[in-house]
C-alpha cells in the first residue's frame, strides 16, 4: 500500500425530497449565487421550480447560466466567470449531472484566477483557490458531486481535458434518487459504464497489498451490476436508483483509490473519442475499457483473474488463469451489451480513419505515456482503437 | 434505504513516517496545544520525541496531559478542561488509541461548555461547539480517529457512556501502520473485535434495500478476517497492519451505516462489563456479540444467512437456513478464539452474580429498550449474559 492523504469534506444529503434543502444549505455560504444547469429537463420535471423557490425562501439572489451540454465547453465556463465577476456572485450551484457540475467547478476556479481558466486544464496553472460549489445531482455517473476533478472540452482544437484539486470538492451534494426516475435507459446505462470505469481505473493497479480497497472496489462493482438492470427495467424503482446513486458517488470520491497507483488510460483514450465525435462519455468507455483490458491483461494476469472471480463469479480455472481472465473481460462486455450500450467503435459510429490522430492527441504527439498498469505509447493506443473496432 | 446525511471532513494522512507531519498539520489550527497521551509506551517507542520535536519545529507551545487508561475516566477529562482554560490552550492533540482520542474529544467539547462535561454523556446537554482535535493513532480499534463519538467512564457509579456529534470529528488523523508493530497480540486481537463489532452493529439491520452498504460491510469484515491473523503472526508485517488500520477507520466513520438503522445493543451490553470489571472493550465484545447473535438471529434469519455465506464463505444450505445462520455465528466465535480472545464470560473472569445489576443499568432500570434489530428489555439482556456465560 502506498502512503496517501484522503480528505473528502463534501456534505452528502441523500434521500427522498432532499432537494428542498438547497436553500438552507446554500445560505450557509452565500446569498449571491450563480445557478448552473443544462437544458429544459429540470424545468419540465419541476425541479427548477423547487430549487428556485427554496433559494428565494432563504433570501438568496441568483442569476442563471443554462445551456450546458454533454462534453461541456470551456466557452460557457468563461461566460459563467464573467457573470460572476460582473455581478459579484460568489457561490456556484450546479443542478444536473457531471457536465453541469464540471462547468460549475470550472467557473469556481476561474473567477479568482487572473489568467484564462483553460490554463488549469492545460496544465499551465495550479489551482490555489476556488469559490464554493453546491450540487443537486440528477444523473449518477460522473461522480463529480464529491470528486476533486472537472473535465471540459475546448472547442478550439477539440481538446477534452481534466483538472483537479481537493479545493474543488463541492461543499454539499444533494442526492435524491427520485430525480433520476426520468433518466432514459440509455443514459442510465451510460452512467453505469462511467461509474464502473471510475472503479476499474483504480482497481487495475500494480500496487501490492491493497486488499481492503480491492474489496471495496469489488463491492461497488457488484452493486452496480446488480442494480442497474433493475433501474433500467423499472425506472421508478427507488431502491435500485438509490443503490446506483450512492455507489456512483463513492466510486469517484477516491476512497477506492487510496493507497494505490491508478490507471486512467481508458479515460484518456475515451476523451479523444468524445472530443472529436461528441459521443456520450459512458458509451465511449463501454467500448474502450474491454479493448484496453484485452490489450494489457497479460501484464498482470492474476489481477484480471481476481476481477473475473470476485466481481463476475467466474469459476476459477486454476490450471488456466488466462482463460479465467478473458472470461471476466467477456462478462464485462456482455454486461455492457445487456444494458444497451455499444461495445465497438463501429456501433458507436466511429470510423477507423482518425485512430492515428486521436492516439497522437492522447499521447501529445507520442511524447507522453498514458496509463498506470501499463505505460502506453501512441502505437499502443492505436492498437487499442483497433481492438475496439468491431 | 433510509434518508441520511454523511459528512466526514477528517483529513486522513496515512503511511510510513507520517507522524513527522504533526507539527505542520497542527499549526494550521493553533499554536497552543494540549498534548494528550496514555502511559509510557509512546516514550519508549520514541514517538513522544518525534511528536514534540515536530511541534517545537513549528513554533507550537504545548502542555501535556498523560495517564489516560483504557475505559478512560471523566475525571481526567475534567483535568484537561481545567488545563486548557487556565492556559488558553485551544487545540487538543491525541497521541494513542481510542481511549486517548475519546479523552481528547471530551476535553474539546468540555472547554467551551459552561456546565459539567458529563452532561453530554448523560444526555443532559447537546454538543454545540468543540475545540479542534488532531490525532496520531497507535491502536487500530475504536475508530475514534474520524468518528463522531466519544465514550467515557464515570467513576462515580461506574457508568460508561457515549456521546456524539459531527462537530467531534477530528480535523486530521495521522495513521502510520508502523506505529502498531509493537502492539501485543492480545491488544491487536481486541482491536480486531472492536473493528468487527463496529461493522456488525451496522450490518444487522431490518432496513430493506441496503445492498451497497451491505457489500461494503462485508468487504471490511473480510479484510479484517484475512489480515488480523497475519498481523498477529508477524507483528511487523506492514501490509497486514496497514489493511487493519485503514479498515478500522472506515469501519466506524459511518460510511458503512449510511441509509440504515443500526443496532448497538452489543456495545451497550459490553459497556456494563467494562464499567464494572474494567475488561478490555474488544475482549468484552468478542464475548457478547456471538451471544447476542444467538439470541436474536431468528428475528431476521436471512440476514444471518447472508452474513454466514458472504462473510464466512459458509456453504449455503438452502433447505436449512437456520443451520447456515448458526454456522456463521460459530465461525465468528471460532475466529475470535483463534486470534486469542475469550469467547465466554467465564474466560473473561466475570462471574454470574451481577448479570441482573448490569442488565438493569444497561436498560436504565428496565425503562429503556436497547438495540435496533430487536428491541431488548432487561430480561433479554440477562438472557444474553447467560448465553455468554460458558
* DSSP bridge partners of B95: B136
Of A7, A18, A243, the CB nearest to B3: A18
Of A13, A211, A223, the CB nearest to B212: A223
pLDDT in the model for residue A275 = 87
Q: How far is A127 from chain B (nearest CA, A)?
A: 19
pLDDT in the model for residue A13 = 98
If we measure between CA atoms, which residue out of B278, B263, B276, B289 comes closest to residue B341? B289
B83 lies in the same domain as B188: no
Q: In the listed set B115, B145, B179, which residue is the last one of a domain according to the structure?
A: B179
CATH (domain of A372): 1.20.1090.10
Of B15, B219, B258, the CB nearest to A215: B219
Please state, in angstroms and rounded to a whole number, the distance separating the CA atoms of residues B54 and B227.
32
B171 lies in the same domain as B228: no
Q: Which residue has the cell 478473458?
A: A326
A150 lies in the same domain as A215: no
- Output phi, psi for A174, to 5 deg: -95, 120
Q: Is residue B2 part of a domain?
A: no
Q: What is the mean pLDDT of residues B204-217?
A: 98
Compute the half-sphere exposure of residue A371: CA atoms within 13 Å on the CB side of its CA.
25
Q: Does B155 touch chain A (CB under 8 A)?
A: no
Q: Which residue in chain A has the smallest CA separation from B17?
A: A3
CA B344 from centre of chain = 20
Q: What is the ipTM of this complex?
A: 0.96
Q: Of A159 and B121, which is predicted with more confidence?
A: B121
| pLDDT at B95 > cutoff 90 | yes
Calculate the average pLDDT of chain B.
97
A282 lies in the same domain as A315: yes
| pLDDT at A40 > cutoff 90 | no
User: Hey, are the CB atoms on A258 and B246 less than 8 Å from each other?
Assistant: yes
| pLDDT at B40 > cutoff 90 | no
Q: Does B226 touch chain A (CB under 8 A)?
A: yes
pLDDT in the model for residue A37 = 98
Window B:193-222, CB contacts with A under 8 Å = 208-209, 211-213, 215-216, 218-220, 222
Burial class (CB in 10 A: 0-12, 13-18, 19+), A112: middle
pLDDT in the model for residue B7 = 97
Q: Which residue in chain A has the smallest CA separation from B244?
A: A212
User: Hey, are the CB atoms on B9 and A7 less than 8 Å from each other?
Assistant: yes
Q: Is residue B357 part of a domain?
A: yes
pLDDT in the model for residue B39 = 87
B92 lies in the same domain as B47: yes
B352 lies in the same domain as B221: yes
If we measure between CA atoms, which residue out of B204, B358, B224 comes closest to residue B295? B204
Q: Please give the share of chain A, as a percent, with pLDDT higher than 70.
A: 100
Burial class (CB in 10 A: 0-12, 13-18, 19+), A298: exposed
Q: Is residue A2 part of a domain?
A: no
Q: What is the mean pLDDT of residues B122-131?
A: 97
Q: In the listed set A133, A149, A179, which residue is the last one of a domain according to the structure?
A: A179
pLDDT single digits (tens) A345-367:
999 999 999 999 999 999 999 99
Instruction: Please give the sequence-ordered ranges of beta strands (E in DSSP) within B43-122, or none if there are none.
Output: 61-65, 91-96
Contacts of A246 in chain B (CB under 8 A): 1, 212-213, 258-259
pTM greater than 0.95 = yes
Burial class (CB in 10 A: 0-12, 13-18, 19+), A184: exposed
Contacts of B28 in chain A (CB under 8 A): none
Q: Does A146 touch chain B (CB under 8 A)?
A: no
Measured from the Cβ of residue B328, the count of other Cβ atoms closer than 10 Å reads 22
| pLDDT at A317 > cutoff 90 | no
Please state, in angstroms and rounded to a whole number, the distance separating the CA atoms of residues A218 and A203.
8
B38 lies in the same domain as B77: yes
Q: Is residue A375 part of a domain?
A: yes
Domain count, chain B: 2
Q: Is residue B5 part of a domain?
A: no
User: Hey, are the CB atoms on A12 and B6 less than 8 Å from each other?
Assistant: yes
C-alpha grid cell, residue A184: 432514459
Residue B62: domain span: 11-179
Q: Please give the share of chain A, as a percent, with pLDDT higher than 90.
A: 96
Instruction: Please give the sequence-ordered ranges of beta strands (E in DSSP) within chain B, or none if there are none.
Output: 4-14, 32-36, 61-65, 91-96, 133-137, 149-154, 159-164, 172-175
B209 lies in the same domain as B187: yes
pLDDT in the model for residue B278 = 86
CATH (domain of B165): 3.40.50.1970
pLDDT in the model for residue A93 = 98
pLDDT single digits (tens) A120-153:
999 999 999 999 999 999 999 999 999 999 999 9
Query: Using only C-alpha atoms, what is the Rg of chain B?
Result: 20
Contacts of B13 in chain A (CB under 8 A): 5
**Which residues have C-beta within 8 Å of that of residue A59, sequence separation ≥ 6?**
A27, A31
Q: Does B113 touch chain A (CB under 8 A)?
A: no
Q: What is the mean pLDDT of residues B365-384?
A: 97
pLDDT single digits (tens) B241-285:
999 999 999 999 999 999 999 999 999 999 999 888 989 999 999
Please state, in angstroms and rounded to a whole number, the distance separating the CA atoms of residues B63 and B52.
10
Contacts of A171 in chain B (CB under 8 A): none
B96 lies in the same domain as B199: no
pLDDT in the model for residue A161 = 92
Q: Is residue B322 part of a domain?
A: yes
Of A11, A14, A219, the CB nearest to B259: A14
Give the helix ranges, DSSP H, for A5-117: 22-27, 41-44, 47-57, 74-87, 98-110
If we measure between CA atoms, which residue out of A168, A322, A346 comes closest to residue A254? A168
pLDDT single digits (tens) A80-134:
999 999 999 999 999 999 999 999 999 999 999 999 999 999 999 999 999 999 9
A283 lies in the same domain as A368: yes
Q: Does A61 touch chain B (CB under 8 A)?
A: no
If we measure between CA atoms, which residue out of B254, B206, B4 comes closest to residue A242? B4
Q: In the listed set A179, A206, A222, which residue is the last one of a domain according to the structure?
A: A179
Q: Is residue A107 part of a domain?
A: yes
Contacts of A2 in chain B (CB under 8 A): 15
B233 lies in the same domain as B156: no
B45 lies in the same domain as B169: yes
Q: Does A12 touch chain B (CB under 8 A)?
A: yes
User: Hey, are the CB atoms on B215 and A222 less than 8 Å from each other?
Assistant: yes
Amino acid at each position: 500500500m502506498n502512503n496517501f492523504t484522503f480528505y473528502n469534506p463534501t456534505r452528502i444529503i441523500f434521500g427522498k425530497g432532499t432537494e428542498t434543502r438547497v436553500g438552507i444549505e446554500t445560505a450557509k455560504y452565500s446569498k449571491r449565487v450563480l445557478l448552473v444547469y443544462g437544458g429544459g429537463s429540470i424545468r419540465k420535471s419541476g425541479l427548477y421550480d423547487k430549487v428556485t423557490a427554496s433559494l428565494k425562501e432563504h433570501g438568496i439572489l441568483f442569476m442563471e447560466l443554462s445551456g450546458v451540454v454533454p462534453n461541456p465547453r470551456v466557452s460557457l465556463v468563461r461566460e459563467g466567470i464573467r457573470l460572476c465577476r460582473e455581478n459579484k456572485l460568489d457561490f456556484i450551484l450546479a443542478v444536473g449531472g457531471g457536465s453541469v457540475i464540471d462547468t460549475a467547478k470550472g467557473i469556481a476556479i476561474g473567477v479568482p484566477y487572473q489568467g484564462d481558466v483553460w490554463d488549469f486544464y492545460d496544465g499551465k496553472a495550479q489551482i490555489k483557490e476556488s469559490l464554493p460549489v453546491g450540487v443537486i445531482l440528477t444523473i449518477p455517473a460522473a461522480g463529480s458531486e464529491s470528486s476533486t476533478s472537472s473535465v471540459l472540452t475546448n472547442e478550439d482544437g477539440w481538446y477534452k481535458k481534466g483538472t483537479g484539486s481537493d479545493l474543488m470538492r463541492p461543499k454539499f451534494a444533494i442526492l435524491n434518487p427520485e430525480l433520476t426516475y426520468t433518466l432514459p435507459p440509455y443514459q442510465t446505462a451510460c452512467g453505469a459504464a462511467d461509474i464502473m470505469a471510475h472503479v476499474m481505473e483504480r482497481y487495475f493497479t500494480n500496487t501490492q497489498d491493497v486488499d481492503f480497497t480491492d474489496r471495496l472496489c469489488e463491492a461497488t462493482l457488484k452493486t452496480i451490476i446488480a442494480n442497474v438492470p433493475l433501474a433500467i427495467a423499472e425506472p421508478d424503482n427507488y431502491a435500485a436508483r438509490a443503490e446506483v446513486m450512492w455507489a456512483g458517488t463513492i466510486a469517484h470520491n477516491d476512497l477506492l483509490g487510496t493507497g494505490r497507483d491508478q490507471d486512467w488510460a481508458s479515460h484518456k483514450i475515451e476523451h479523444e473519442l468524445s472530443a472529436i465525435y461528441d459521443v456520450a462519455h459512458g458509451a465511449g468507455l463501454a467500448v474502450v475499457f474491454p479493448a484496453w483490458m484485452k490489450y494489457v491483461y497479460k501484464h498482470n494476469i492474476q489481477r484480471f483473474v481476481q476481477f473475473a472471480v470476485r466481481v463476475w463469479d467466474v469459476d476459477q480455472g486454476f490450471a488456466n488463469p488466462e482463460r479465467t481472465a478473458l472470461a471476466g473481460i467477456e462478462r464485462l462486455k456482455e454486461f455492457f451489451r445487456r444494458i444497451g450500450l455499444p461495445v465497438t467503435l463501429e456501433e458507436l459510429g466511429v470510423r477507423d480513419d482518425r485512430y492515428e490522430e486521436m492516439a497522437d492527441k492522447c499521447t501529445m504527439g507520442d511524447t507522453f505515456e498514458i496509463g498506470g498498469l501499463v505505460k502506453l505509447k501512441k502505437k499502443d493506443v492505436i492498437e487499442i482503437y483497433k481492438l475496439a473496432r468491431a
